Amino acid sequence: MTTQYNVPDFFACKVFDEQTMRSRLSPEVYQSLKRTIRRGARLDLSLANAVASAMCAWAVENGATHFTHWFQPLTGITAEKHDSFINPAPGGRVIMEFSGKELVRGEPDASSFPSGGLRATFEARGYTAWDPTSFAFIKDKTLCIPTAFCSYGGEALDKKTPLLRSMEALNKQALRILRLFGNEDVTRVTTNVGPEQEYFLVDREMYLQRKDLIYTGRTLFGAKPPKGQELEDHYFGSIKPRVQAYMDDLNEELWKLGILAKTEHNEVAPAQHELAPIYSSTNVATDHNQLTMEIMKKVARKHGLVCLLHEKPFAGVNGSGKHNNWSMATDTGANLLSPGGTPYENAQFLLFLTAVIKAVDEYQSLLRLSVATAGNDHRLGANEAPPAVISIFLGDELSAVLEAIETDSPYEGAAQKKMKLGVDALPRITQDTTDRNRTSPFAFTGNKFEFRMVGSGDSIACANIMLNSAVAEALKQFADDLEGAADFDARLHELIKENIAAHKRILFNGNGYDDSWIKEAVEERGLLNLPTTPDAMSHLLDEKNVEMLLSHGVFKESELRSRYEIQLENYTRTVKIEALTMLDMAKREILPAVESYGASLARAMADKTGIDPALVSVYEKKASADLSHLLDAIDGAADGLAQAVEKLEGAGDITAQAFLIKDEIIPAMEALRKPCDEAETVVAQKYWPFPTYGELLFGV
Ligand code: ADP
Ligand code: MG
């Protein structure tokens, strides 16, 4: 790092952003590009050519030699195929060129990406199309152009396409509501997201000694260390120098890419940390979060570290999530989830708030399944992260306001009077009292909702697609109703009242980790408890869900079917790899280690017996017998797991396979882990074949 370290000087230096565009494009080209972006229209070719040529010149000046259409296929990571800018020139020379056609459209071979059956019915080829709402950037020596990825039949093969569609759906319905409140100057409503990203850092040398971390990103074995997170001395604690150096480097890389990395701190578990950016539009936030995860891993390597983004790298230690802070804002700068100062603003706020409540209640299953992965199944409901039951935390004050409206009773907090929407102002909601229920999956935090169920390794796209769509649907129903009302104020009041009454079962301010809550939620309130991915996924194709997503143009039915397949395929493959890794480690590392130590004890006992049997200690006899039992237990459990895995072959379709994983393979994995972890506590340290939890968690 240089002595003149001035962040504004290099912030976004690798991004072809507005400022760069303005300085590199002619005023006419710049203006028409901006118009196209704003209207979400297609670029015409002459405009595209002008933009491409300016982009190329800028990229080459900044060290790029290649370009790629950067997209987010359903594998969960980003994809890129590099082409160089090189074009032949007379005299055997080359020039660096990039055409509008290359900028606007690419044709990667779609057959190597998951399509969940869409490939069979449509052409193997797919195409990528530039999303000009997310800026191009340089990564390594490549100009990356954020794109959407579709099949030739127009089916989305990625996460960006439905995300953009869901933002559009919400925009359309929110504008209808705003017009009803006499708001004519707003032309666009965008959803904004600030995703807080949790992660673990472990030493790379140790990581390389563990096949489970290498193949699956999480530990599949490991006894509890003497010290875990019980002292809670890590959270917000001072950051160790090696970690600080990593964070500094990471921030610098992210800032160059125009990513607003803002906060960094230690998390609850040892070796766990968090990074939060400043929020941006959902589309950009999603792209940036994907990039952030990639850069986090890359920078870690430089520091001899490995960044683990798995939701549950260590059993018995808190896992990692991603808090998806979400709000809706107008292009005139108003946050629609911010309580207002005037009676009308208040009524509008309460209507949007009620829409979110209705959306979350009616589409619980979609929100739950949007975060369903094999990794996240270990985290949700494990008393460290939100339960698998969705509920909303509003805080006492706002809850009291809603209750007063619903029951037409005086609101205690204010001047002891009944609230008439559109006439009375809301009592001021003090920010402090709205947050800090960490156990809630979906919490109102003053002017935004925080959806806390997203897994740390997952894209935030899926969660936001479902959230945007569900809220768009609620707003649509409200707009349909209110547009036909004879007396707007009266109907508004009634509508909010009715919806509070209909959906208040989803509101819960108590402790979400409490077992009694799950019981109450399911038995008394009829809320859904979907603990695993196969449980949750079965709801994607529920008639009500399909109808809603289709009606807002967010998905086509074929796309939903394909996504159902792909998500369960990902689940099944992930767990199968874990099971095979466990078998490999158990048979080739753990059993031999237990056997060696047992054999050395046996040899020592035989030697002693030769001299004098009385020399053999009780410890030797006992440990030797324990180790023999453990050998058999491990061997038996490994056989059990192997048999369960074999059943996958003939299990039938993907749904049947996923349930076999859940009902038989995962329990067999747990059964194998138990004796192995027990062996770790008995076998001498120098015999143990890989670094322990203690070493991994406290080794940096
Ligand atoms: P914490 O939740 O840790 O108290 P903050 O509430 O300050 O921290 O912010 C957490 C995240 O929420 C940050 O990424 C921040 O940019 C984002 N955020 C803040 N305001 C909004 C908003 N109106 N819409 C979406 N995200 C927001
Ligand atoms: Mg937060």
Give the pLDDT confidence of 424-443 residue by residue, as tens digits.
Answer: 655 555 554 445 677 899 99
Q: What ligand is nearest to the CA atom of residue 196?
A: 1
Which range (213-222, 233-242, 465-474) has the least confidence?
233-242
pLDDT band at 467 (very low <50, low <70, confident <90, very high): very high
pLDDT at 245 over 60: yes
Pocket of ligand 1 (CB under 6 A): 192-194, 196, 276-279, 325-327, 335, 445, 447-448
Any residues with CB less than 8 A from the CB of 359 and at least 6 apart, and which? 467, 470, 471, 473, 474
When comparing pLDDT for 5 and 173, which is higher? 173
pLDDT reported for residue 434: 47
Q: Which atom, in ligand 1's list, is nearest to the CA of 329?
A: 23
CA 196 to ligand 2 center in whole angstroms: 7
Q: What ligand is nearest to the CA atom of residue 275?
A: 1
Rg, Å, the chain Cα set: 28
Segment 517-521 mean pLDDT: 94
Mutate to test the pocket of ligand 1, among 325, 349, 353, 440 (most ligand atoms within 8 A of CB): 325
Q: Which atom, in ligand 1's list, is nearest to the CA of 338?
A: 23
When comparing pLDDT for 588 and 87, which is higher? 588
Helix 461-483 and helix 488-503: axis angle, to 10°? Answer: 140
CA 247 to ligand 1 center in whole angstroms: 20
Assign a CATH topology to domain 7-158: Ubiquitin-like (UB roll) (3.10.20)
CA 492 to ligand 2 center in whole angstroms: 32
Distance CA(188)–CA(673), nearest Å, equals 53
Q: What ligand is nearest to the CA atom of residue 263?
A: 1
CA 466 to ligand 1 center in whole angstroms: 20
Angle, CA of 461, 465 and 466, to the nearest 5°: 125
When comparing pLDDT for 121 and 249, which is higher? 249
Give the pLDDT confidence of 326-338 residue by residue, as tens digits.
Answer: 999 999 999 999 9
pLDDT reported for residue 232: 66
pLDDT at 533 over 90: yes
Sign of the torsion formed by the C-alpha atoms of 50, 53, 57 and 59: positive
Is residue 224 within 8 A of residue 282, CB to CB? The reply is: no
Give alpha helix (H) positions in 25-99. 27-39, 45-61
pLDDT reported for residue 429: 55
pLDDT at 541 over 50: yes
Angle, CA of 663, 666 and 669, to the nearest 5°: 140
CA 435 to ligand 2 center in whole angstroms: 9
pLDDT reported for residue 177: 97
pLDDT band at 43 (very low <50, low <70, confident <90, very high): confident
pLDDT reported for residue 413: 55
| Model confidence, pTM | 0.94
pLDDT band at 685 (very low <50, low <70, confident <90, very high): very high
Distance CA(460)–CA(454), nearest Å, equals 7
Q: Note the maximum CA span of the chain.
A: 104
The architecture of the domain spanning 570-697 is: Up-down Bundle (1.20)
CA 60 to ligand 1 center in whole angstroms: 36
Residue 7 tokens read as: 């962040």
CA 263 to ligand 2 center in whole angstroms: 11
Q: What ligand is nearest to the CA atom of residue 265?
A: 1
The architecture of the domain spanning 166-555 is: 2-Layer Sandwich (3.30)
Average pLDDT for the chain: 91
Mutate to test the pocket of ligand 1, among 268, 444, 448, 464 (most ligand atoms within 8 A of CB): 448
Any residues with CB less than 8 A from the CB of 522 and at least 6 apart, and which? 389, 528, 529
How many residues are recorded in the chain?
700
Mutate to test the pocket of ligand 1, among 197, 265, 279 (most ligand atoms within 8 A of CB): 279
Q: Which atom, in ligand 1's list, is nearest to the CA of 277?
A: 14
Q: Which atom, in ligand 1's list, is nearest to the CA of 337?
A: 23
pLDDT reported for residue 267: 83
Angle, CA of 110, 114 and 120, to the nearest 5°: 70
CA 455 to ligand 1 center in whole angstroms: 18
Segment 195-209 mean pLDDT: 97
Give the pLDDT confidence of 631-665 residue by residue, as tens digits.
Answer: 999 999 999 999 999 999 999 999 999 999 999 99
Q: Which atom, in ligand 1's list, is nearest to the CA of 327?
A: 24
Q: What ligand is nearest to the CA atom of residue 194?
A: 1
Segment 153-181 mean pLDDT: 95
Segment 274-289 mean pLDDT: 96
pLDDT at 278 over 90: yes
The ranges assigned to domains in the chain are 7-158, 166-555, 570-697
Give the pLDDT confidence of 314-362 residue by residue, as tens digits.
Answer: 999 999 999 999 999 999 999 999 987 777 778 999 999 999 999 999 9
Distance CA(623)–CA(683), nearest Å, equals 9
Residue 619 tokens read as: 């410890």
CA 235 to ligand 2 center in whole angstroms: 14
Which range (147-156, 408-417, 428-437, 617-626) has the least confidence?
428-437
Q: Which atom, in ligand 1's list, is nearest to the CA of 445?
A: 6
CA 194 to ligand 1 center in whole angstroms: 6
Q: What ligand is nearest to the CA atom of residue 326?
A: 1
